[in-house]
Chains A and B, each alone.
Chain A
């Protein structure tokens, strides 16, 4: 479903991604972990071209973008429709209600009929447990509720892949669970997902593969049991120790 080949990203002199290769099969959940500054968020943002890679190739669902050459904006826009993005800071549209947030993409981008979109949007909000908050503006919702609207909004575009960029990092601890529950449900339904997170418990329970990144490279990858119980590199061991001791 997703294939990334020798992906490089530079911000000025700073090299953030130093040759990433990655394959994600359909229906799999990949969790990316690593210290801050390791490039995990940049990698995720390269998958929907919110960052333009310096070079390399990204392919999703048979659509390929080769950043070694020129890529047009139209190519990028149609490529972005393959993925749904969930942001750390939700980024809901504050001037639209929950329902309007979810309907915005299909109506503006895909030009779908309003009645059809509204029905789907209602169903999606129902699914994330917000069927009673359709007409609420974002400021009237808690962080956890806003993030669930964010997930419904991304799903409304019927993406092939869902990308999660630290979706629970901005949440109060007691609100993390409701968001993770929705994500877990999605995974069980067979959605292909790439998740950048610090929620190790979620990684252990839901991930098919865990990727540990450091300094712009993939240091280690494997199934959760391998990575968490039996990390191979010292760097991974050190990181996991730090996370577990809560430092």
Chain B
């Protein structure tokens, strides 16, 4: 470590080389983020949320088979590594004739993963809504979907923003795993560049910094959404 540092400090050429590489790799890295990391995150999170709402509703429904399906799904996804799920879909399924390109394969794996974790968040949020809210909705003649959409989910949304933001931010970073099924997202771009110039420290630091900036922006967004949904709650 010490040697390495002195190496840079005493070697102006090395420093120059770093600045040049950092500048020339910034654009490809950003391109990887914009064309893969961010779309992968947004798509997977949207699909994941839809799956999550359906699974949460299945889990709290009075229909036994639906409950069981939801329980099994959550158990399998939470009980196996995300990397195994990615490999299963991309490298495993082709052996039974199901071949999926790397990007859609990643979207499927991440959506299923988010769906399982978020379904527990949403289930808890729905259950935390007081029973009287359902009763007030039903007493004016609302159907189950109407009560859910107009009365319950808007209140559940407020409670679930902080834990859902956690999932969202984790997902941004987890997409780096997609590099292992050949998606050229930001981390893979960093690997590819580093493989040509051997500046691993620099490239991985750069990639890490961009992940951090994305996540920082997301936590700012979370704050805004929370403040907006908090406007009807006593402080």
A interface residues (Cβ-Cβ under 8 A, vs B): 48, 50, 73, 77-78, 80-81, 83-85, 87, 89, 91-96, 104-105, 108-109, 137-140, 153-154, 157
> Across the two chains, which residue of chain A brings its CB closest to B229?
A95
**Are A95 and B135 in touch, CB under 8 angstroms?**
no
| Interface presence of B128 (CB below 8 A) | no
**Are B135 and A109 in touch, CB under 8 angstroms?**
no
**Chain A residues whose C-beta falls within 8 Å of the C-beta of B234 in the assembled complex:** 139-140
**Chain A residues whose C-beta falls within 8 Å of the C-beta of B158 in the assembled complex:** 95
A150 to chain B, nearest CB (A): 8
| Set A73, A91, A95, A140: member contacting B136, Cβ < 8 A | A91
**Chain A residues whose C-beta falls within 8 Å of the C-beta of B155 in the assembled complex:** 94-95
**Are B232 and A81 in touch, CB under 8 angstroms?**
no
5 contacts between A and B (CB under 8 A): A87-B135, A91-B130, A91-B133, A105-B140, A154-B139
B62 to chain A, nearest CB (A): 12
Listed residue (A92, A95, A109, A137) with the most chain B CB atoms within 10 angstroms of its CB = A95
A45 to chain B, nearest CB (A): 8
**Chain B residues whose C-beta falls within 8 Å of the C-beta of A94 in the assembled complex:** 155, 232-233
| Interface presence of B78 (CB below 8 A) | no
| Set A77, A89, A138: member contacting B143, Cβ < 8 A | A77
Cα-based distance from A73 to B146 in the complex (angstroms): 13
**Chain A residues whose C-beta falls within 8 Å of the C-beta of B141 in the assembled complex:** 77-78, 80-81, 105, 109, 157
> Across the two chains, which residue of chain B brings its CB closest to A50?
B135
Cα-based distance from A137 to B235 in the complex (angstroms): 13
Cα-based distance from A238 to B98 in the complex (angstroms): 78
Cα-based distance from A140 to B158 in the complex (angstroms): 18
Listed residue (B136, B151, B234) with the most chain A CB atoms within 10 angstroms of its CB = B136
**Are A108 and B150 in touch, CB under 8 angstroms?**
yes
Listed residue (B140, B142, B146) with the most chain A CB atoms within 10 angstroms of its CB = B140
**Are B146 and A109 in touch, CB under 8 angstroms?**
yes
| Interface presence of B138 (CB below 8 A) | yes
Cα-based distance from A139 to B146 in the complex (angstroms): 24
Cα-based distance from A85 to B134 in the complex (angstroms): 13
> Across the two chains, which residue of chain B brings its CB closest to A137?
B232
User: Do A157 and B132 contact each other (CB < 8 Å), given the known contacts A94-B232, A95-B232, A139-B233?
Assistant: no
Cα-based distance from A198 to B232 in the complex (angstroms): 32
| Interface presence of B154 (CB below 8 A) | yes
Cα-based distance from A80 to B139 in the complex (angstroms): 6
Cα-based distance from A153 to B133 in the complex (angstroms): 13
**Are B143 and A73 in touch, CB under 8 angstroms?**
yes
Within B171-198, which residues are at the interface with A (CB < 8 Å)?
none
Known: A48-B139, A77-B142, A91-B133. 19 other contacts (CB 8 A): A77-B141, A80-B141, A81-B140, A81-B141, A85-B140, A87-B135, A87-B136, A91-B135, A91-B136, A93-B136, A94-B155, A94-B233, A95-B155, A96-B232, A104-B140, A108-B150, A109-B140, A157-B140, A157-B141
> Across the two chains, which residue of chain A brings its CB closest to B136?
A91
A238 to chain B, nearest CB (A): 32
Within B113-132, which residues are at the interface with A (CB < 8 Å)?
130, 132
**Are B140 and A80 in touch, CB under 8 angstroms?**
yes
**Chain B residues whose C-beta falls within 8 Å of the C-beta of A89 in the assembled complex:** 132
